[in-house]
Amino acid sequence: MNHSNASDSGTDVKRMSTEMIESQPVTAAASRDQRVFTKVVGRKFHEDGSVRHFPGNTIICPVDPTSAVNALLVRLVGQFRKLSCSRSFTLLPPSSYHMTVIQGVCEDDRKPQLWTSFLPLDAPLEETDRLFREKWETVHVPDGFNLKFDYLHTGGVALTVNLQPLTEDDAQKLKVFRNEVSDKLGLRFPDHDDYRFHLSIGYRIVELTEEEEEELLGFKEQTERELEEHFGIYASMPPQLVFFKDMFKFADSR
């Protein structure tokens, strides 16, 4: 499988690639004017929008930084930065862009439905790392998956480009892989059977005003029209077991 993401319009992708923004993450503005924080504050981010220690592990398909889809995401973020409401978000660095295939565990989420069934809830996170590395060696890892654009999700705390399998065969391939990982790693989250695949590009730190919500809705409608035309096929890289300290970096070690 070709692991570079492909757009249907080479000319448009080339133009978008030349407009790539700086790769540094952007954090939400520090001044909050007594506005209401979202649920990611105190969890994944601090009140000023800076990233918070939030260690865990997960299985992802990283976005190839040289791909057409990466260029589209970077251009999308560049357009989003121009909005007034963007000051209420923390935008992720492009180096962290990925599609989660199946969630692992997080230090802060020690509940039976969010933890591996093979270890007690008070087991050190490092013990889950060791177990998952061992079990991962027995997993049949596919070359990647084919997905297409579904919609831009702006209504929650995460700003995401949502995806759907390209064909029924692709959907079955994802299902088989997720079920195998679920069985071998002892993971079965409540949303296992209806998980929505997505590419996260930012997080909402404070709730928006009515005017900002209207601005965001207009951005969503315009962006969806553009992505429906230019997104093409997301031919992912192979899934990887990765480890993280926070939401800015996912790698083979923490």
Q: What is the pLDDT of residues 43-53, one digit of tens each?
A: 999 999 999 99
Q: State mean pLDDT over 176-191.
A: 97
Percent of the chain with pLDDT over 90: 86
pLDDT, residue 25, reads: 64
Would you state the structure tokens that stand for residue 116, as one six-digit string?
């591996």
Q: What is the mean pLDDT of residues 117-140?
A: 98
Residue percentage of the chain with pLDDT more than 70: 87
Least confident of 7-16, 53-62, 160-169, 213-222: 7-16
* pTM score over 0.85: yes
Give the residue from 73, 51, 49 showing the smallest Cα distance to 163. 73
77-121 pLDDT, tens digit per residue, is: 999 999 999 999 999 999 999 999 999 999 999 999 999 999 999
Assign 1 a pLDDT band (cuts: 50, 70, 90).
very low
Check whether 22 has a pLDDT greater than 70.
Answer: no
For residue 53, the number of C-alpha atoms closer than 13 Å in the C-beta half-sphere is 2
- Residue 195 — φ and ψ, nearest 5°? -65, 140
